[in-house]
């Protein structure tokens, strides 16, 4: 199988375009190296899937693609069944990395997507698409490590946000709602968190919209939450 349009393959030579002992070794090493970069980024932030998980998923995708190429070459087929199976398996693994936190939030979505993306990178490496693999890895790493800062900035400037609220007792909820309205905010939804049922606290997930034009211009979510934190009956509050 040749990939004449791949710049890195042309620089390496004809041997890297074919599937042989040397190119297979290169692809496996490259697969492990690239996935280690992504896995290290996730592990450094203590996410559910870490270094080894990313390496294994990407390695499996690379091996599956190379086996499909060999089988198609030997038997004259055109099906990539093992590659398809590896994508399905990666999807299952990614789905299992999702979980609900004690604050009724779905966690692990980004890590789940990154796992699935790394499987596709493994397929690209196994097929000998070296340039695409490198470009894909750096793009994925950029999305995971750089874009969160922009995402947080945009979220902090949004007119809608959600907070985890712990009140000292349930009777304080009415006072909290009254204060919210006086500040020029609107409560879209309030949901009691059952995970704290026996803690002695009244814990809620509260969706808030900023309705005041002045707040929209001059206040961030952090400043609003900091002001709410000063209320005597608020035990703890933070954005989620």
Report the 3 state secondary structure along 15-59.
HHHCCCHHHHHHHHHHHHHHHHHHHHHHHHCCCCCCHHHHHHHHH
Tens-digit pLDDT profile for residues 206-222:
999 988 877 777 778 88
Tens-digit pLDDT profile for residues 77-115:
888 989 999 988 888 887 777 665 555 566 778 888 888
pLDDT of residue 134: 94
Give mean pLDDT, residues 214-239.
86
3-class SS at 99? strand
pLDDT of residue 3: 44
Buried b (16+ CB within 10 A) or exposed e, 16-43: bbbbeeebbebbbebbbebbbebbebbb
- Is the pTM here over 0.85, yes or no? no
Residue 173 has pLDDT above 60, yes or no: yes
pLDDT of residue 63: 95
Instruction: Report strand pairing: 234-239 vs 185-192.
Output: unpaired
């Amino acid at each position: 199988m040749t990939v004449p349009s791949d710049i890195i393959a042309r620089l390496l030579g004809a041997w890297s375009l074919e599937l042989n002992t040397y190119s297979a070794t290169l692809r496996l090493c490259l697969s492990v190296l690239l996935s280690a970069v992504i896995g290290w980024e996730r592990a450094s932030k203590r996410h559910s899937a870490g270094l080894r998980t990313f390496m294994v998923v990407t390695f499996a995708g690379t091996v599956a693609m190379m086996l499909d190429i060999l089988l198609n070459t030997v038997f004259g087929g055109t099906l990539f069944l093992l590659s398809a199976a590896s994508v399905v398996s990666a999807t299952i693994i990614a789905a299992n990395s999702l979980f609900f936190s004690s604050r009724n939030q779905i966690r692990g979505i980004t890590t789940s997507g990154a796992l699935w993306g790394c499987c596709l990178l493994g397929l690209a490496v196994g097929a000998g698409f070296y340039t695409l693999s490198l470009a894909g890895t750096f793009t994925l790493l950029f999305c995971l490590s750089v874009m969160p800062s922009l995402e947080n900035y945009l979220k902090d400037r949004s007119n809608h946000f959600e907070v985890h609220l712990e009140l000292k007792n349930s009777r304080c909820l009415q006072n909290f709602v009254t204060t919210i309205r006086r500040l020029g905010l609107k409560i879209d939804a309030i949901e009691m968190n059952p995970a704290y049922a026996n803690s002695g606290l009244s814990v809620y997930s509260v969706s808030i919209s900023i309705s005041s034009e002045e707040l929209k211009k001059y206040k961030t979510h952090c400043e609003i939450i900091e002001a709410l934190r000063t209320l005597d009956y608020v035990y703890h509050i933070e954005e989620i």
